[in-house]
Structure 1
Amino acid sequence: MTSPAGVVVVGASAAGLTAAEALRQSGYDGPLTLVGDEPHPPYDRPPVSKQLLAGDWPAERLLLRPEEAYTELDVRLRLGVAASALDVTAHRVRLANGTDVPYDSLVVATGTRARTLPGAGGAAGVHVLRTLDDALALRTALAGRPRLVVVGGGFVGAEAASVARSLDCEVTLITTGDAPLADVVGPDAADMLASLHREHGVRLVTGTRVTGLLTGQGRVTGVITDRRGVRSEVRADAVVLGVGARPNTEWLAGSGLPLGDGVECDSTLYAGHDVWAAGDVASWQDPDSGTRLRIEHRTNATEQGRHVAANILAGPGAGSGFRTVPYVWSDQYGLRLQVYGLARGPGATHLVDGDPRQRKFTAVRVRDGRVVAALGMGMFRQLRALRELVAEHAAWQPRGLTS
């Protein structure tokens, strides 16, 4: 009789580890393998651009579990080796070292990687901020107090600028928006964030696109910008690219799995062929709206890891649809911005309580008359109360909210 191959999780990430732990907690006692391309055991990613980059935490503090936990979990770790191909007919994962790992059920939790700019790969002094090693390399560079250009006004770019200023670096942040996180928080809160960065000495260059890098003797010396057709140059000793992320799905090309902006799953996170996906790499059909979602948030990774484990045990066709209220936070200059829901995209931002100018407020994002997100700073209890409106996609009723 053939021995069971068990469950293989590709991606030693928060989603992957959570799926493995949830399987064991739910009574699964078969073979369990966790594959990761990094040499590190699973670690927490949000501190990468916050406490680790600032030097406030050692790298070891990011580890999600101590070494002995994997022995207790009875999981086989295959770290430092990437998955390179998938054969869904034979139920085998091919690793970059040429070995094959058979599976009965497969969880794809390979996450995303940082986007870069054309020509950025060969120049010293160009950094991205996605992995533990990325943060350690950038932290070493920031210790020399370079002139730093941050490209991108999203969460990573804004947090990198905040940390760099705390380390007394000269910082220029360049964004295509009107302010950092302008597409998430709306104009009033965006103005507050812009003022916050300027107060701490960041030079903001808004409404501007970076089209290339300047280099000399193998090192970056600045960036080339375009603002409404006008070309300019900004000099730098180091550059951080915070221009988004790509799902790690290349290894799945030709496998027969549906791929688009991630691994395309149904509402239960099932992609077919006994393959499931969880975390940043998963693109799933929202069971309520029918729209396809892919969310790069830490809490989403944990929730999906648990959900996939439950649905694996239930079996294809018997699993439940995945529903969530996304949550993300950003620490900048000692303040914490928090967001529930999907704030990006069209819509209007309405203040509920407080005042963004005082850095203490709550607000909601409204689309087609419905609350799709809530955000705030310095008012956690009040913001938490708005979460239910997001979960229900409640009709926007400003008087009821402020009474």
Structure 2
Amino acid sequence: MSVIHDPLSEEATSRIIRAAVAASSPLEIRGGGTRTLSAGGAGRDILSSASLSGIVAYNPAEMTMTAKSGTPLDDIEAALSECRQMLSFEPLDVRALLGTGGIPTIGGVFATNASGPRRFVAGAARDSLLGVRFVNGSGEIVKAGGRVMKNVTGLDLTKLMAGSFGTLAFMTEVTFRLLPVPETALTVVISDLNDAQAAAAMATAMSMSVEVSGAAHLPESVRGRFLGGRLPGGAATVLRLEGLSASVSVRAEKLTAAMASFGPVGTLDPADTAQLWREIRDVHAFADGTARPVWRISVAPTAGHQLVAALRLETGVDAFYDWQGGLVWLRMESDPDAELVRRYIKALGGGHATLLRASAGVMAATQVTQPQGEAIEALNARIREKFDPAGIFAGNVATGARY
């Protein structure tokens, strides 16, 4: 039976890891328990961040915050809302999609590099991470980075921790930058475009000086699952504008005029805009209570619709697009067909595909993360060996930590 270790401090964490090394007992890192990349981990002891919770420092004037890794994301966002500040990268919440419970934590956000619709203009979670404290696989307590953005030479340990999924170390504290909450937001909606036309419209919008902060395309097959079915009929190509009210109004007028050449144009008010982009962020269309395979695919914006079109000729799929078409959320009707998906991605110039949801058996039998070339995998192996020479966190490489 697995033992759950729930340390109250970095020192206690260090002792637990050193004991695990001495006993050659691997550890599964667990944050809020909201996700898992596969069905692995049975029999491993668990190292939890649940008791490492609390905001350590918050400086609204400098727009930075430091928090312990197990701090619930809700606590972070509640504190930020009082000063009208936010995490710019819109961390997605996968619980509805995966059918899981748990509580999202700030450490889990950075460990998984969880980034939402604003990522293509504001950067990913790792781009907001300024500093981190962690305990490595030898039980050593390490501090990297700080509370200001600095130029980095050599290996950037802070950025290395983001998206590492517990494969390198156990994060205990994170420091990150913030942005002000926009005064208002609205969404321009272009109706009835096919996927290729939508890609062209989004590219045109992004080339304009209107500062689009969200660009997504919702084909007819998924459009009715967003905003309670209140989007205009047909496919919906949606473009978000944020900022001062007067500025948003002027930019919306300019964008609407430009998009009129593509199709019928309408707008959504701030309340519907907030709801729609939350649903896009959290993959609401595929949060259907099933285990049908869901892929998260990152490709060039011009390649997303080509990938989906090619797959539709081979198998049953449903999809929608974020990040100007560069992020494809793809649901397979039956088998995840990893070889087929990755073969087409390679043919279209490359990218990354992660199988985020499937049945436990399928997840266990599938390489859920993107295969790396020999050179990159050799580099990753050397980095893991430096951080975790005894392989205490090695199980997280194959299965993903349960953040």
TM-score normalized by structure 2? 0.31
- Structure with the higher fraction of residues in strand conformation: 1
Considering Cα pairs closer than 8 Å and 6+ residues apart, tell me whether 1 or 2 has the greater RCO.
2
